[in-house]
Amino acid sequence: MKKKIFKIFGIVFLVVIVTLIAAPFFLKGKIADIIKNKVNHSVDATFDFSDASLSLFSSFPNAKVSLENISLVNKSPFEGDTLFSSNSIELEMSIKELFKDANEPIAIKSLTLDKALLNILVNEKEEANYDISKGEEEESTTTTEESSGFSFSMDSYAITSTDINYIDKSTGISLLLKDINHSGSGDLSLATSELDTHTDAIVSFAMDSTNYLDNNKIKLDAIVGVDLEKSKYTFLKNKAVINQLPLVFNGFIQVNENNQELDITFKTPSSDFKNFLALIPEVYSKDIGNVKTSGDFTVEGAFNGVVDDTHIPKFNITIASHNASFKYPDLPKTVQDINIDVAINNTSGIAEDTYVDIKKGTFRIDEDTFSIVANVKELMGNTKVNAQLKGIMNLANISKAYPVPSDLNLKGLLNADINTAFDMASVEQEKYENTKTQGTLQLKDFVYKSSEVPNPVELNSTSVTFTPKTVTLNTLEGKTGKTDFKANGTIDNLLGFMFNDEKVEGNFNLNSNTFALNDFMVGEEEVESVTSENKTPEPGSGEEKIKIPSFLDCTINADAKTVLYDNLTLTNVKGSLKIKDEKATLNNMTSSMLGGKVGFGGEVSTKQDIPTFAMQLDLDKLGIAETFKSLELFKVLAPIASALQGKLDSNIEISGNLTNDFTPDLGSISGNVLAELLSNDIDPNKAKLLSSLTNNLNFIKLDEIDLKGLKTALTFEDGKVKVKPFSINYQDIKVNVSGGHNFDSSLDYKATLDVPAKYLGSEVTSLISKIDDSSLENLTIPVTANIGGLYNSPKVSTDMTSGIKSLTTKLIDIQKQKLINKGKDKAKDLLSDVLGGSTSENDTTQTKDKTKEGVKEVLGGILGGSKQKESSEGSSETKEDSTVAPKKDEDVIKEKAKNILGGLLGGKKKEE
């Protein structure tokens, strides 16, 4: 019997185990469908998750449902925005809940939410993205009967590592809660119960671009009485900590159909002045446990009233301290005579009526005192400010009395006495005549160090005068790195800059003995690209960048004796600089540099990711050697000029992109240049191109080339330079140059030389003398030199074809003309003889023969050979000679010209 009982029990137990194992597989799809249908039928948004799992063992006798990668995405007017997301949600419920119909409510016993984001948005039209519940009519079309969906009878819940963002563009309010960890326990299935909660988070709160809380830690331990029938939540035993400031509070919140009622009071549990230090974030106040304090500090307040579309709760908050002091144990100075009397109130329940009254705020370090009195009305409406700031403070004493950040090493003496009265409506409408700010501010021997500036900034003297219309900078004298500066000027819209996001408008005069641009270059770490497993950054990461400040809209009249830019030194720099919209426009700028003078103007813009520039430069008598040593631009525009010594004048128009250190990106520039050389000295060690040319043309000597007065023009774009054809003279040889080169120093030039015949040697001279024609005295022969290769290794080739053809053609044409003229003379003599007496046919034939003979003699002389023998046998042989000789003579002349030019171009003359 016992065996049978045990056997039956074993079978039942096995069935239960098998059921528990198999049930998740059968119910998993059902659970996922139920949850998705329940939520999507209830909201006007898209709810989804990647996976749903069911476990019956880990929480037996309850079931645990887990959802992974949950999202709730808005529809219009916030189409595509994520209202809610979470890595995971775990729901625990009774197993019997799994077998309910889809229309029946499901009771949840516990909830765990991990790494969630709740992103609440309200747009300018006051439409909220959380308003996603479906209307009754729409909901009735998706469900056949009323259903509450889920009911909560939880024992506990937890929210871990969660962020909540609340951004209301209609009111300018931003509330950010980061890294929320919240848990609670209690039986919410009862009509009345107590919920024990624990919360910690980091909170930031801003309104109208003003930060009231910035990454402040909060902690709340609260026991809340819950009355579900009245929707009333009462704080029974509660303690909150803001930064390190403890607060205790009590009261209740009741949620009604059309509004919420609040009645809450809070205060500090003690009056120790450590409460004041506790208000300051711990990163700045450090450990306050060992700080020695005296006097008191209290925070006390109350909220009561209703919250609806037009009202906020009435409230009054008081912050007070009397004759307090504190001293950190590791610092030598004590902050004394601390008096605070501040009230923040709203007595009407209308947000615009909120006001802040700072009746007193004073403190003293040694003999230096500082005080502030202010009244701010209509804080949530047209804010009206009336304030007075007055005091003298040795800034070095601040770090001796309070643990300021280690990299903020303040020094200097501050003396301020400023009164201001303005309303935000006037500021926003730029009606600065309705504002009243006056007084003085002086700062001497001020030293500022920060990672944001490459060198400490030392202000020897600063004096500012405030008037209702402008802020006058009387003097600003100081230095940083190699740079010294002295400035004065005016700011026309300080309030607009401070409160209305306007740009600083003003005019300034800047004087400097030495102004080094590198002193204002800050290393900006670029995003590192991981190229291997050891995370080696790509070249270029951490490059320095210069950005023109976007908040400046001003004109600066500059006068600097020396400006250092890269490897350049500019002296006596004067001109005007207009800065606006991240663009600097230079007007009438002049400077001395590289042994000459420079005038320049144009603009530089850093508004885009890649900075751009467009400049016009007027160079007057710049040293050529110094220019090509210092300016990379000239090395690529005119590499041949690096061999020249002396001065040059030039006009340059250039535009393109800038690199991060504000030097031109040579691959992007375009423009044109007009230049004139003022001297003709050549450095033979740098003249490979010219020496290669003279080696191929042995009648030209490098040291006798005269380039003085040479004017040339060129254009450049896409890495190519095109030179406008120009001419130079070597003694009485004219040289015509055309072509261009690339930025990579590859050459493509052609030089055509008109060489006078006298340079061609005695052979040509002898030939020309035999022709005996005065027009041959100015005879020139064209010789072409093609220049290729690279600037440091040029390749020069010469072309004799045109020279040979020209020489041959000219000699033959001249000789033919002379023979024609001789024939005419013979004809005249013959005509004279005919007219003077009888002439026989035999005489006429004899005259023609003599003319032919003369032609042969001249051509024979040109060729340097003997006359061809004549046959006395009849006129037919004579006719053959006179027909063949011209063609033979032309060939011989060409050959002789080729030999002569070959010797001229550096080769051997061909043996005749």
Instruction: For residue 61, say if its preceding peptide bond is cis, omega within 30 degrees of 0.
Output: yes
Tens of pLDDT, residue by residue over 793-843, are: 888 887 766 666 766 777 677 767 767 777 666 666 666 655 555 444 454
pLDDT of residue 101 exceeding 80, the answer is no
pLDDT of residue 300 exceeding 90, the answer is yes
pLDDT of residue 522 exceeding 70, the answer is no
pLDDT for position 761? 61
> Do strands 552-565 and 504-516 pair parallel, antiparallel, or not at all (unpaired)?
parallel
Q: Which residues contact 640 (CB under 8 A, 6 or more apart)?
A: 689, 690, 791
Q: What is the distance between the alpha carbons of residues 79 and 212, in angstroms, rounded to a whole number?
A: 31
Tens of pLDDT, residue by residue over 608-646, are: 888 899 988 888 887 776 776 677 777 777 776 666 667
Which stretches within 254-349 are classed as H helix?
A: 274-279, 282-285
Instruction: Name which of 722, 760, 725 is nearest 742 in CA terms.
Output: 722
pLDDT for position 386? 93
Comparison of pLDDT for 280 and 82, the residue scoring more: 82
Most confident of 97-106, 123-132, 221-230, 315-324: 315-324
Instruction: Name which of 486, 487, 489 is nearest 472 in CA terms.
Output: 489
Tokens for 519?
Answer: 């002193």
pLDDT of residue 108 exceeding 80, the answer is no
Instruction: Name which of 809, 762, 800, 806 is nearest 780 in CA terms.
Output: 806
Strand partners, 794: 789
Q: Which residues contact 848 (CB under 8 A, 6 or more apart)?
A: none
pLDDT for position 345? 93
pLDDT of residue 173 exceeding 70, the answer is yes
Q: pLDDT category, 334, cuts 50, 70, 90?
A: very high
- Mean per-residue pLDDT of the chain: 76
pLDDT for position 133? 73
Q: What is the mean pLDDT of residues 189-195?
A: 83
pLDDT for position 141? 46
- List the chain domain ranges: 1-139+156-170, 243-404, 406-502, 826-912
Tokens for 518?
Answer: 């590198």
Most confident of 163-177, 356-370, 420-434, 815-829: 356-370
Q: What is the distance between the alpha carbons of residues 131 and 808, in angstroms, rounded to a whole number?
A: 100
For 447, left (φ over 0), alpha (ψ -120 to 50), or beta?
A: beta
Q: What is the mean pLDDT of residues 143-159?
A: 60
Q: What is the distance between the alpha carbons of residues 453 and 495, in angstroms, rounded to a whole number?
A: 26
Comparison of pLDDT for 593 and 872, the residue scoring more: 593
pLDDT for position 15? 44
- Measure the N-to-C terminal CA separation of the chain; round to a whole number of Å: 143
Q: pLDDT category, 70, cuts 50, 70, 90?
A: confident
Q: What is the mean pLDDT of residues 524-552?
A: 50
CB-based contact 719:666 (threshold 8 Å): yes
pLDDT for position 893? 55
Q: What is the distance between the alpha carbons of residues 691 and 643, in angstroms, rounded to a whole number?
A: 11
Q: What is the mean pLDDT of residues 564-579?
A: 84
Q: What is the distance between the alpha carbons of residues 655 and 602, in angstroms, rounded to a whole number?
A: 9
The one-letter amino acid code at 623 reads G
Tens of pLDDT, residue by residue over 734-790, are: 888 888 888 888 888 888 888 776 666 666 666 666 666 665 666 777 788 888 888
Q: What is the mean pLDDT of residues 134-141?
A: 50
> Do strands 232-242 and 210-227 pair parallel, antiparallel, or not at all (unpaired)?
antiparallel
Query: Please, what is the Cα angle at 276 between 270 and 282, to 5 degrees?
Result: 115
Comparison of pLDDT for 670 and 130, the residue scoring more: 670
pLDDT for position 170? 80
pLDDT for position 835? 57
pLDDT for position 361? 94
pLDDT for position 42? 74
CB-based contact 449:456 (threshold 8 Å): yes
Q: pLDDT category, 130, cuts 50, 70, 90?
A: confident
Q: How many residues does the chain have?
A: 912
pLDDT for position 884? 43
Q: What is the distance between the alpha carbons of residues 885 and 855, in angstroms, rounded to a whole number?
A: 9
Tens of pLDDT, residue by residue over 22-59, are: 445 445 556 667 677 777 777 788 888 888 777 766 66
pLDDT of residue 341 exceeding 90, the answer is yes
Percent of the chain with pLDDT over 90: 16
Tokens for 820?
Answer: 């024609």
Comparison of pLDDT for 209 and 902, the residue scoring more: 209
Give backbone dihedrals phi and psi of 861, rounded to 5 degrees, phi first: -65, -40
For 155, left (φ over 0), alpha (ψ -120 to 50), or beta?
A: alpha
pLDDT for position 771? 62
pLDDT for position 10? 46
Tens of pLDDT, residue by residue over 401-459, are: 988 876 667 788 999 999 999 888 887 787 777 888 889 999 998 887 766 567 888 88
Lowest mean pLDDT among 109-118, 236-245, 495-504: 495-504
pLDDT for position 890? 55
CB-based contact 611:653 (threshold 8 Å): no
CB-based contact 755:780 (threshold 8 Å): yes
If one counts every other C-beta atom within 10 angstroms of the C-beta of residue 850, the result is 11
Q: Which residues contact 589 (CB under 8 A, 6 or more apart)?
A: 573, 574, 575, 576, 577, 599, 600, 601
Tens of pLDDT, residue by residue over 876-901, are: 444 444 444 444 555 655 565 566 55
